[in-house]
Structure 1
Amino acid sequence: MSTPVTNRLLTTEEDARQAEGVLQQIVGPQGVLSAGHHNHEMTPLPREIGVLLQQVLQAVARGSTVTVTAIPAEVTTVTAAAMVGVSRPTLMRMIRDGELPAHKVGTHTRLASADVTAFIEARRARQRAAFDELRSILDD
């Protein structure tokens, strides 16, 4: 079972200038990123790749530290608990209660990274909705 691989890029002022220059060269109409080929023809990148690259370049242009983590398709309960921000026993309760799907590999419990990420995103959406509701109540 592989664990997440993290790479950290500490940017310099020169990196920031270069990233800004690259952004100006590759952002096309409607903010779509395009890449040039050997024949100098600009081809739009797939949306998800374009968004990812644009976020990285914008962070570098601001002089921020960029951390990229590659998460395997399947994770252990320890890794999933860290991703969710709960203890492993709490994660195991969530699995038992059906909040998170998991499967057994021999005697070990494994989770699909996509399921863990979807759970995190759904939880954030619920938190935002609750916060917005609270704010609307306080504004009245």
Structure 2
Amino acid sequence: MSEAAARQETYLPGPDEGRVAQVHDFLTARERAGRGTPDVQCFLSGTRPDDRVELPVELYQVLRQVVDALRNGLAVTVAPVTKTLTTQQAAELLGVSRPTVIRLLDDDKIPFERTGTHRRILLRDLLAYRDRRRAEQYAALSATTVDIEDDLDETLHRLRAARRTVAERRRSSSGSDSRS
């Protein structure tokens, strides 16, 4: 990979919003017609009729996200990330501290490899952990939702039980904090 391709770059919405809107409308129309699914073939073309290449699904998804952001007046930052991350990079991606990532690794919550004395985390493993953690958080939120039709005593009992569960998890994980 060239040095230019490996650097982080931020793109601002340009003055020609009409062309971005055209691309947005084109992509939206394809998706509404049922052709915006991952198995559809999209092409990037040049100036000659035979100058075209199939656009992989991943690039289509990136294009769609960039177009949506630019159309809404947002800047877009492209930041290449290697497939193997340091503990600091993992912490930044998760939005937690480096010691927290080390604790997660030591507690076998996220698989990792050692390179000498350094820990290396595969990006796919880190993203899988993040997805699991989000699912657990949504489940916890769902468990604490209150239906106005429910009996008040039953609701209070469920909320107390949920708080006890959270407190037990914190106590069990705080015992491993001293190893960091």
TM surpasses 0.5: yes
Q: Alignment length, in residue pairs? A: 135
Bigger Rg, structure 1 or 2: 2
Q: CA deviation at 1:77?
A: 0.8
Counterpart CA distance in 1 for 2:44 and 2:88 is: 42
Counterpart CA distance in 2 for 1:108 and 1:127 is: 30
Q: Give 1:30's aligned residue.
A: 34
Q: Give 2:101's aligned residue.
A: 91
Structure 1 residues 110 and 36: CA distance shift in structure 2, 3 A? closer
Let me know the Cα RMSD of the aligned residues: 2.8
116-125 or 29-38: which moved more? 29-38
Q: CA deviation at 1:45?
A: 4.0
Alpha-carbon contact 1:104-1:110 (below 8 Å) kept: yes
Q: Give 1:119's aligned residue.
A: 129
Counterpart CA distance in 1 for 2:81 and 2:14 is: 27
Counterparts in 2 of 1:1-140, with a 5 A limit? Answer: 5-14=7-16, 16-26=17-27, 27-28=29-30, 29-30=33-34, 32=36, 34-35=42-43, 37=45, 38-39=48-49, 45-135=55-145, 137-139=146-148, 140=150
Counterpart CA distance in 2 for 1:65 and 1:74 is: 27
Q: Where do 5+ consecutive residues of structure 2 fail to align?
A: 1-5, 151-180
Alpha-carbon contact 1:18-1:61 (below 8 Å) kept: no
**TM-score, structure 2 as length reference:** 0.63
Q: Where do 5+ consecutive residues of structure 1 fail to align?
A: none
94-103 or 29-38: which moved more? 29-38
Work out which structure has the larger RCO, using CA pairs closer than 8 Å and 6 or more positions apart in sequence.
1
Q: CA deviation at 1:64?
A: 1.0
Structure 1 residues 85 and 36: CA distance shift in structure 2, 3 A? closer
Alpha-carbon contact 2:43-2:54 (below 8 Å) kept: yes
